[in-house]
Each structure stands twice: as C-alpha cells, then as structure tokens.
C-alpha cells in the first residue's frame, strides 16, 4: 500500500473512518442487547432463541476473521474493508426490515460476515502506516472509539428502542457503516493485492463456523429438550464431526488458517487461554446485566441504558490505567489480578435483588467490572504479540481476536442456557425465577474468570522464568 497517499488524504478523516469499524463492533453489541427484550416480544421468541440474535452475529465474525484478513491480502485491504462495510450495511438494513425471527437471524449473520471482512482490514491499514507517530495515534483513536461504543451504546440503544422502536437500532448501525464505506471511497487510496495466490481458507472457516453453531445449538438444546434427547445428541455429534473435519483439514493444509506452532509461545498461549475469562466477565456484565434490569426489575430500555453509563466511563478510564500498570508489573500479574477483580465484580453484581440495590450494589459493581475488564483486555492484547517474531505478529493477533470473538459468542450462549435452566428449576414468583437464573449465570461467569486467572501464570511459566533470569 502507498502509505504516503494515505498521509496526503486528510489523515484525520482516515483515522475516523478506520475507527468507525471498531466502534461499530462494540456499539452493535450494546444496542442490540438493550433492544433484545423488545425483539423477543415482537417475534414471540423464548429466551434461548433470543440469544441467537447476538450469537448469529458473533459466530461468523469470530470464525471468519482470519479468512477476512486473507481476503485483504489477496484482493487489497481497502477493497476488502469497503466490501465488508457495505455487507454489514446490507445486513443491518435487512435486520431492521425483518418480518420474522428467522429472517432476522440471517440478516445478523450477514452483518457478522461484513464485520469479519472490515475489522482486520482496518487494522491492516493502520499497521501499514510508515509514520510511527501517526500509526500510534490511529491505534489510540481506535481504542477510544471502542470505549465510546461501550460508553454510549447502551444509552443510545435504550433511547432509540424506546423512542423510535427496535428496528431503528439496526438502521442506526447501517447509517454509520454506510457513512464509513462512502468516506473510504473518497479518502482511502486504491491499493493493489499483495498476495494474489493467497489461499483464503474458506472451507476451513465454514467448517469452524458451522461446527461452533452446532455446538451452541447443542448447549441451548440441553435445557429445552434434555441432555439425552435425540436433537441434543445429534447436534453435539454434528459439532464434533464438523470441528474434527476442521482440525484434519488444518493439519494437512499447506497454509492453514491458524499457524499452530505460534501457540507454543507461552505468552500467546496464555493470552488466548485468558480471553474466555475476560469475555465471560464482559458478556456476563453486558448481556446478563441489561436483561436483568429490564426483564427482572422492569426498567425501560432507556433507563437500563442510562444505568450502564458508569460501565462505559470505567472502560474508558481502564485503558490508560492498564498502560501504567503494565509499565510497572509483569503482564501475567496484571491480567490474573484483574480477572480476579472481574470475578469479584460479578459476585457483587449477583447480589442485586431489586431496584433498591441499583445505587449501593449494581453501579459500584459496574464500575469495578468496567475497570477490570478493560485492564485485563489491554494486558491480554499486549501479551498476544510479546514473544512473536515480527513476521508473524499479524497472524498472532488474528488468532487472539478470533479467540476473543468466539469466546464472547460462547459466553452468551452458555450463560443464557444456565440462566434459563436455573429459572426453570427455581420455585417462587416469576420475577424471582428470572432474577435467580441471572444470578447463577453471573456466578458462572465469575467462575470462568477465576479459572482463567489461574491458567494464565501456569501457561506462561516458561516466559516468566525467562524474564526473571534476565
């Protein structure tokens, strides 16, 4: 890519367009979760089916990120990013027009495919900049954009859902994506494909995504049909077969999607293992927390969104705090300690029993979780490329981002299943059943964070020994 051309073409606008993709990825998660109860009511979906509105987007995004990065290498990063933004726009428009629940899920999958094309290309465009100061500035802008999506996504989602209706939640995302796509045509230079012979790995990607979808369906089927029901066992078997075929194909591929030897590096291995703990904490807070406020405590979408503002502000404050901590402490210490903090925040969140607990319990828990999830995410991101040779850093971060997004999708499915299974076996009023189900899901997320906190230093032991001897 001609980086000087990028620098000549309004660098401020270039940074804004590249930041828009990361903003959309975070923003979409918040606004859709706030609107989920309204969507659920419109299509008469049960809770386990409703979680697919989130999962149908997250699984294609996570499963196709590496293939999306290869599309950028083969067809050009600007061309791939533009195609991804327009695909995301089309999916968002169709989601807003959805006449049925199944149509909505298909549109959400299309959004996920578009994001999988756009996100890695936007990071590749930033990494290609020759000026280190501008490159670091744009990475900072992207980080702030993600934090802004967290800070304002829930508020905007609540206001839009309550004022205009849930369909406008998707159309708002479509407007942002379309604006970024149109801006990229005017501001970003045309680039040439770097590796026209690059294998895209679409078959491997399709096997992994369909295998994970079968796994999620099997998880949700446990509560609905029973663990030994034919549909549950069939789905689990399909997941094993598809994921097994993915492993076999990757093992025999000349250029596999995942560069498996990289996972022998202690820091990358530990960071990938730690991401599920951070994602269970984050998704437990956002997904379970927003539903708890609306479905158990009866808050409106707008009020629930406003209640989550402290989380977004804490996330914005957590990023600079992480930088200071990482300059003074070993990354494993920072990541493990903050994941324990995540677990503590989730336990505190599970003690919210009514609206009366919002200020003394719920809000402090959100602040703690915002700070700890942000610091943990930054520490794990920094560790992902720590021991990786320069030539493989892009692949390493691709593996790390794939782990992040897939962990988030599985967290939503797993926590939703736990909440519904618990509610179904709880006696008492319907409100208490819902509340108790969400409490147990939050405790399950806390357990996942604790396990990850313990696993990180164990998996990073070789790297820690090397640092100590230096």
Tens of pLDDT, residue by residue over 190-234, are: 665 555 555 667 888 888 889 988 998 888 888 778 888 899 999
The arrangement of secondary structure in 1-188, i.e. its CATH architecture, is Up-down Bundle (1.20)
pLDDT along the chain (470 residues), means of 10: 49 70 78 91 89 90 83 79 93 96 95 88 66 61 68 83 93 91 76 59 85 88 84 93 90 78 86 92 90 92 90 84 86 94 96 93 94 89 76 71 85 90 87 93 96 93 53
Q: CATH assignment of 259-462, given 1.10.1740.10, 2.40.50.100, 1.20.1250.20, 3.40.640.10? A: 1.20.1250.20
CB 77 within 8 A of CB 124: yes
Give the residue among 303, 352, 416 at the shortest CA–CA distance from 40.
416
User: How far is the CA of 375 from the CAs of 339, 366, 449, 451, in angstroms?
Assistant: 9, 14, 14, 17
Predicted pLDDT at 189:
63
Domain 1-188 identical in fold to domain 259-462:
yes
Q: How many CB atoms lie within 10 A of CB 130?
A: 12
Q: Classify residue 389 as exposed, middle or buried by CB count within 10 Å of its CB (0-12, 13-18, 19+).
A: exposed
Supply the angle between the helices 363-384 and 393-424 in degrees, to the nearest 10.
150
Give the residue among 359, 443, 394 at the shortest CA–CA distance from 198.
394
Q: Tell me the C-alpha distance between 279 and 242, whole Å.
A: 24
CB 449 within 8 A of CB 280: yes
- The full set of domain ranges for the chain reads 1-188, 202-256, 259-462
Predicted pLDDT at 204:
85
Q: Tell me the C-alpha distance between 98 and 151, whole Å.
A: 28
Q: What is the pTM of this model?
A: 0.84
Give the residue among 128, 106, 116, 123 at the shortest CA–CA distance from 53.
106
CB 326 within 8 A of CB 266: no
Name residue, tokens 């299974």.
421
Name residue, tokens 């995410």.
377
Predicted pLDDT at 3:
46
């Amino acid at each position: 890519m001609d980086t000087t051309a990028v620098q000549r073409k309004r660098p401020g606008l270039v940074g804004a367009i590249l930041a828009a993709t990361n903003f959309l990825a975070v923003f979409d998660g918040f606004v859709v979760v706030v609107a989920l109860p309204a969507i659920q009511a419109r299509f008469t979906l049960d809770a386990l089916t409703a979680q697919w509105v989130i999962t149908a987007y997250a699984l294609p995004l996570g499963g196709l990120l590496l293939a999306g990065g290869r599309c950028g290498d083969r067809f050009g990063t600007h061309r791939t990013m533009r195609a991804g933004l327009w695909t995301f726009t089309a999916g968002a428009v169709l989601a807003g027009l959805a006449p049925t629940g199944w149509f909505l899920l298909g549109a959400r999958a299309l959004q996920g495919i578009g994001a999988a094309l756009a996100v890695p290309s936007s990071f590749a465009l930033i990494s290609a900049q020759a000026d280190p100061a501008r490159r670091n500035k744009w990475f900072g802008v992207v980080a702030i954009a993600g934090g802004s999506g967290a800070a304002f996504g829930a508020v905007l989602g609540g206001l839009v859902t309550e004022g205009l209706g849930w369909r406008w939640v998707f159309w708002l995302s479509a407007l942002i994506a379309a604006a970024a796509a149109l801006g990229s045509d005017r501001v970003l230079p045309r680039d040439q494909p770097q590796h026209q012979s690059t294998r895209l790995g679409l078959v491997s990607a399709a096997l992994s995504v369909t295998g994970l979808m079968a796994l999620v369906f099997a998880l949700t089927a446990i509560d609905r049909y029973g663990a030994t029901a034919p549909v549950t066992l069939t789905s689990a078997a399909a997941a094993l077969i598809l994921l097994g075929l993915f492993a076999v194909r990757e093992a025999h591929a000349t250029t596999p999607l995942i560069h498996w030897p990289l996972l022998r590096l202690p820091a990358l291995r530990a960071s990938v293992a730690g991401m599920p703990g951070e994602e269970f904490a984050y998704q437990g807070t956002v997904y379970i927390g927003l539903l708890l406020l609306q479905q158990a405590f009866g808050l409106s979408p707008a009020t629930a969104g406003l209640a989550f503002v402290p989380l977004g502000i804490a996330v914005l404050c957590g990023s600079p705090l992480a930088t200071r901590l990482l300059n003074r402490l070993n990354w494993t210490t920072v990541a493990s300690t903050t994941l324990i903090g995540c677990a503590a925040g989730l336990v505190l969140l599970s003690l919210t029993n009514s609206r009366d607990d919002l200020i003394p319990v719920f809000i402090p828990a959100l602040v703690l979780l915002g700070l700890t999830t942000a610091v943990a995410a930054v520490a794990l991101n920094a560790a992902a490329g720590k021991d990786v040779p320069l030539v493989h850093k892009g692949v390493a971060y691709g593996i790390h981002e794939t782990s992040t997004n897939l962990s988030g999708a599985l967290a939503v499915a797993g926590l939703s299943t736990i909440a519904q299974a618990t509610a179904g076996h709880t006696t008492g009023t319907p409100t208490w059943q819902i509340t108790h189900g969400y409490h147990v899901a939050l405790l399950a997320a806390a357990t996942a964070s604790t396990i990850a906190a313990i696993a990180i230093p164990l998996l990073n032991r070789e790297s820690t020994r090397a640092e100590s001897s230096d």
